[in-house]
Each structure stands twice: as structure tokens, then as C-alpha cells.
């Protein structure tokens, strides 16, 4: 409900400013994740220790790959890189904070919830593979729901965003570290905040998404 209902209500029906939507989304996401941790007994420190070294390496590799691909497709590259305005507030808000929290909700949470529900204690390799495949499907479903809820997304755009989220989800799926994929996603969101800093209204989001542009 959160990943579909909130963006659909905020952006499609109420058509609020995109930064205000990010604020509302972050508040709901943080509250939801806090409640999950409180009532599920999730041990965050132990989860973060799992596969952390491999997770960081994969996050850097996948993140840089996503940035490179995003830059290649961005119309902002028609400008000189020297002319790109660097707004620290935009980078921090849309790139790092929103990128991290949305990555946790779309990639890390489905992985954690699936693993804790199905893996059990000391699972064998076959069971691990099955759980990872199920977690990947959960990430696809979560990403699809969130993309559909966003304003102006057509099927081509939805498919593209789901593909990006699956690629961003690989560091966590491979390493088992829940923060690896959100870190990879931050790279992409930071690059978007640099290359497309003027996308600050829902009208811009709708226009660009219909043209196959902005998320």
C-alpha cells in the first residue's frame, strides 16, 4: 500500500511538488521501517555485518555502472560538464537521503523480509538459491508497484525502472548485505540530481516521464 498508494495519491491525484512528496514519502517510509524493526525483532547490527566487504565492492561497481548508463542516456550530456550547477542541497536531499531511503524500501526491505521468512537457520545452498530468487521477485513486485504509483509512468518507463532496480538490487542479492543495494542506488540518484537539477515540480516529472526521461 505504501509503495503504490502514497505516490499515486500524492502525485497523480493531489499533484504536489516533488520535493514535498519526497518529504512525505521519507516520513512514511522511516515510520514503516521503524515499526517493522520494532515488532519483528530485526537485529540491524548483525544484518549489516553480513557480507559487508563484498557488499561494498559490489555497490561501488554496480553504482558506477548505473551512473555511467544514466549519463549516456541523459539529455543533460548535451551540455558541457563545466556548466552543470552543483547544488549541495539538491544532492543531499534528492540524491543521498531520498536515494538511500527509497533503496532500503524497494530493495533492502523485500530481501530482509523474504530471507527472514523463508531461510530459517543455517539453510543449505539449494534453499539459499530459492530464497534469493524469491527475494528478487519481491524486489521486482515492490519496484513495479512503486513505479505504477508514480505520476505519468507508462509501461516502457515502468519496465525500465524495474530493470534498473533489479540491477541495483544485485549487490544485496549476491552479498547478503541489505545496505549494499541502497548504496548502489545512491550513486544513480546523485548523478540524476546533478544532471537534472531543474526537475523540481510534478509538472516537470510528468512531462519528462511521458517522454521517457525522469523518475
The CA distance from 68 to 72, in Å, is: 6
- Which set of grid coordinates corresponds to residue 74? 541523459
Give which of 51, 19, 3, 39 is closest to 200, Cα–Cα: 19
The CA distance from 156 to 195, in Å, is: 22
Per the structure, how many domains does the chain have? 1
pLDDT per residue as tens digits for the range 63-85: 888 887 765 555 544 444 455 56
- Asked whether residue 180 is domain-assigned, the answer is yes
- The pLDDT, as a whole number, for residue 213 is 39
Which string of DSSP letters, residue by residue, matches 109-141? HHHHHHHHHHT-SS--HHHHHHHHHHHHHHHHH
- Asked whether residue 50 is domain-assigned, the answer is no
- Asked whether residue 138 is domain-assigned, the answer is yes
- The pLDDT, as a whole number, for residue 199 is 52
- Asked whether residue 24 is domain-assigned, the answer is yes
- Asked whether residue 111 is domain-assigned, the answer is yes
User: What is the average pLDDT value for the chain, to the nearest integer?
Assistant: 80
- Asked whether residue 48 is domain-assigned, the answer is no
pLDDT of 61 above 90: yes
- Domain residue limits at 169: 2-40+57-210
Please state the rounded mean pLDDT for residues 9-18.
Answer: 82
pLDDT per residue as tens digits for the range 127-145: 889 999 999 999 999 988 8
- Asked whether residue 47 is domain-assigned, the answer is no
- The pLDDT, as a whole number, for residue 136 is 93
- The pLDDT, as a whole number, for residue 78 is 46
**Residues near 140 by Cβ (< 8 Å), separated by ≥ 6?**
162, 165, 166
Q: What is the DSSP letter of 200?
A: -
Please state the rounded mean pLDDT for residues 149-157.
Answer: 68
Amino acid at each position: 500500500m505504501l509503495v503504490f498508494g502514497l505516490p499515486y495519491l500524492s502525485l497523480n491525484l493531489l499533484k504536489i511538488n516533488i520535493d514535498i512528496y519526497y518529504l512525505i514519502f521519507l516520513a512514511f517510509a522511516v515510520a514503516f521501517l521503524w515499526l517493522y524493526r520494532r515488532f519483528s525483532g530485526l537485529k540491524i547490527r548483525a544484518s549489516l555485518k553480513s557480507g559487508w566487504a563484498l557488499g561494498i565492492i559490489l555497490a561501488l561497481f554496480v553504482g558506477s555502472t548505473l551512473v555511467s548508463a544514466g549519463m549516456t542516456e541523459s539529455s543533460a550530456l548535451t551540455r558541457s560538464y563545466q556548466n552543470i550547477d552543483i547544488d549541495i542541497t539538491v544532492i543531499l536531499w534528492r540524491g543521498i537521503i531520498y536515494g538511500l531511503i527509497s533503496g532500503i524500501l524497494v530493495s533492502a526491505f523485500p530481501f530482509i523480509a523474504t530471507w527472514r521468512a523463508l531461510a530459517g537457520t543455517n539453510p543449505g545452498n539449494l534453499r539459499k538459491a530459492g530464497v534469493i530468487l524469491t527475494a528478487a521477485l519481491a524486489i521486482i513486485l515492490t519496484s513495479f508497484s512503486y513505479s505504477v504509483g508514480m505520476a505519468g509512468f507508462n509501461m516502457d518507463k515502468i519496465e525500465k525502472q524495474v530493470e534498473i532496480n533489479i540491477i541495483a538490487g544485485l549487490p544485496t542479492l549476491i552479498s547478503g548485505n541489505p545496505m549494499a543495494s541502497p548504496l548502489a542506488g545512491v550513486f544513480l540518484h546523485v548523478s540524476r540530481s546533478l544532471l537534472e537539477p531543474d526537475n523540481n515540480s510534478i509538472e516537470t516529472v510528468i512531462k519528462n516521464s511521458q517522454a521517457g526521461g525522469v523518475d
